[in-house]
């Protein structure tokens, strides 16, 4: 399920956890240009959430049409293609693979058609935890699958129950699927959005006049000039049609469990999730991390670009200079290489270069949002030492990764994670650093202004909402 055809996506895949997808949709667009260009801009704003494939589905006079392919948004869609789309309602998607391999047939949205030409298209962000059970059951009942994505399972169930009406079909489907999903569906007349009862993945509603938008992050709404209306609530179904937006409440007896790594790494710094700006949360965690740093330091260095917000908070709290002492090459070309460990390290060296004049003889702290395999931290430490740094300390603005994720994030199995139960000093030595300091879970909760009950922290704690009894042994 890893990207193997470029350095940059490979680095994201192997040095950081990967989010699965981003969703953007527009309903009843009447503004300048056309809806396809607006959707294109929205998907560009969500490109960080998925870089394997991109697609759009829209209603035309001949039914639901699709434009999708492998690659980045600007590689999949050309201006002539966008100009040719004559539709006011469009569903767009960018994808990383977690459930289902990285292949063209898994690119979303997915479409289901009836014998009389009617159709529906679905895109979703997340990961079902009962995929195998539902897949086997549907196969036994005669279902033919064309992809290996769990999105097709959701679509197949809705399609089966469609004669009850799409709203009831979605309700019935939500009773059968388990796990994380923030999904959007369109037919010829309506746009529907629905979110799992725990609310693992974000999904927001925006509006300009009579045009509605749905997006995985508020940054995409900002890009197209839409105002944030609110989030789709956990367990809620929203229908948008000629009568406007109608809310259909779902389960209310399940605790909210938004993935806390939306704040740590996945979301753009300019996005707002559950009322909290992502950059401000990360900066606040950095400030709190300052109270855990015991070393004497000369400067703070952000790991480009994921550690910038936390590094700002740490530097301010410690009253130390913040120096961009590691240059990140923004023009790293796409090359066809296999992600072996040696090539991962070569790619990181190509990506980063320290400024020796700033770090020579200095005690420096490198700040990053998280530590997964440790490849980037290991190479950055080595590069800084080679540039003359006297000491290199790592400050990580989140607790240690200890467990895999089952809710739509591609986090390696425990055996591949950098964290060691032997202790932080041993971990620091393995990476080559003088010390390593992690934020504690309570630092994240204080930065967010909420307790642990509002978030999924399984990657730290091993406590999986809805799967505790089943998954505890796995971890």
Q: Which helix (H) or strand (E) holds 314?
A: helix 308-318
Q: Is the peptide bond before 305 cis (omega within 30 degrees of 0)?
A: yes
Secondary structure letter of residue 342 according to DSSP: H
For 268, other C-beta atoms within 10 Å of its C-beta total 17
3-class secondary structure, 458 = helix
Secondary structure letter of residue 434 according to DSSP: S
Whether 259 is catalytic is no
Q: Which residues pair with 126 in a beta bridge?
A: 181
Are the CB atoms for 439 and 424 separated by under 8 Å? Answer: no
Question: Edge-to-edge, what's the strand order for the sheet holding 21-27?
Answer: 63-70, 53-60, 90-95, 21-27, 211-215, 204-208, 227-231
Here the tokens at position 165 are 């009406």
Here the tokens at position 225 are 């000039």
Lookup result for tokens 């940059």: 8
Are the CB atoms for 235 and 250 separated by under 8 Å? Answer: yes
Q: Which residues pair with 125 in a beta bridge?
A: 182
Residue 172: C-alpha distances to residues 155, 157, 254, 335 (Å): 12, 8, 17, 46
DSSP-assigned letters across all residues of 365-386: EEEES--SS-HHHHHHHHHHHH
Q: Which listed residue (15, 21, 259, 459) is catalytic?
A: 21
Lookup result for tokens 């607790």: 399
Residues 6+ apart with CB under 8 A from 73: 40, 43, 44, 47, 54, 94
Q: Rounded to 5 degrees, what angle do the CA atoms 93, 97, 103 make?
A: 85
Phi first, then psi: what are they for 315, rounded to 5°? -65, -40
Q: Is 422 exposed, middle or buried (0-12, 13-18, 19+ CB in 10 A)?
A: exposed
Following CA atoms 137, 141, 146, 147 in sequence, which dihedral angle do they give, to the nearest 10 degrees? -10
Q: Which residues pair with 244 in a beta bridge?
A: 241
Lookup result for tokens 């300009």: 208
* Residues labelled catalytic: 21
């Amino acid at each position: 399920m890893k990207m193997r055809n470029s350095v940059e996506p490979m680095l994201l895949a192997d040095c950081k956890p990967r989010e699965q997808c981003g969703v953007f949709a527009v309903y009843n667009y009447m503004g300048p240009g056309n809806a396809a260009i607006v959707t294109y801009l929205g998907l560009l704003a969500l490109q960080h959430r998925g870089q394997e494939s991109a697609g759009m589905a829209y209603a035309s006079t001949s039914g639901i049409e699709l434009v999708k392919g492998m690659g980045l948004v600007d590689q999949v869609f050309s201006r002539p293609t966008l100009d040719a789309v004559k539709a006011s309602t469009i569903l767009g998607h960018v994808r990383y693979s977690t459930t289902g391999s990285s292949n063209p047939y898994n690119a979303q949205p997915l479409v289901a058609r009836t014998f009389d030409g009617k159709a529906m298209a679905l895109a979703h962000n997340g990961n079902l935890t009962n995929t195998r059970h539902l897949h086997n059951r549907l196969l036994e009942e005669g279902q033919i699958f064309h992809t290996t994505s769990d999105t097709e399972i959701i679509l197949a169930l809705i399609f089966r129950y469609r004669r009850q009406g799409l709203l009831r079909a979605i309700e019935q489907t939500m009773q059968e699927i388990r796990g994380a999903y923030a999904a959007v569906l369109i037919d010829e007349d309506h746009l529907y959005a629905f979110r799992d009862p725990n609310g693992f993945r974000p999904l927001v509603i925006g509006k300009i006049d009579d045009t509605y938008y749905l997006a995985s992050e508020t940054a995409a709404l900002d890009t197209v000039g839409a105002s944030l209306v609110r989030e789709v609530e956990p367990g809620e179904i929203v229908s948008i049609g000629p009568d406007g937006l109608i809310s259909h409440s779902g389960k209310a007896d399940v605790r909210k469990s938004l993935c806390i790594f939306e704040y740590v790494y996945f979301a753009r710094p300019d996005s707002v999730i559950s009322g909290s700006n992502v950059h401000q949360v990360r900066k606040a965690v950095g400030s709190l991390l300052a109270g855990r740093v015991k070393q004497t330091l000369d400067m703070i260095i952000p790991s480009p670009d994921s550690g910038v917000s936390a590094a700002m908070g740490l530097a301010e709290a410690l009253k130390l200079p913040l120096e961009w002492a590691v240059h990140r090459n923004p023009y790293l070309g796409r090359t066809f290489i296999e992600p072996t460990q040696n090539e991962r390290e070569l790619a990181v060296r190509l990506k980063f270069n320290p400024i020796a004049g700033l770090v020579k003889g200095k005690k420096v702290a490198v700040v990053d949002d998280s530590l997964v395999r440790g490849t980037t931290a290991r190479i950055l430490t080595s590069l800084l030492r080679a540039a003359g740094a006297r000491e290199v300390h790592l400050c990580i603005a989140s607790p240690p990764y200890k467990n895999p994720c089952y809710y739509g994030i591609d986090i390696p199995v425990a055996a591949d994670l950098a964290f060691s139960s032997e202790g932080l000093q041993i971990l620091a030595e393995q990476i080559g650093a003088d010390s390593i300091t992690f934020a504690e879970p309570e630092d994240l909760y204080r930065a967010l202004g909420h307790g642990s009950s509002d978030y999924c922290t399984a990657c730290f704690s091993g406590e999986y909402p809805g799967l505790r009894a089943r998954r505890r042994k796995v971890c």
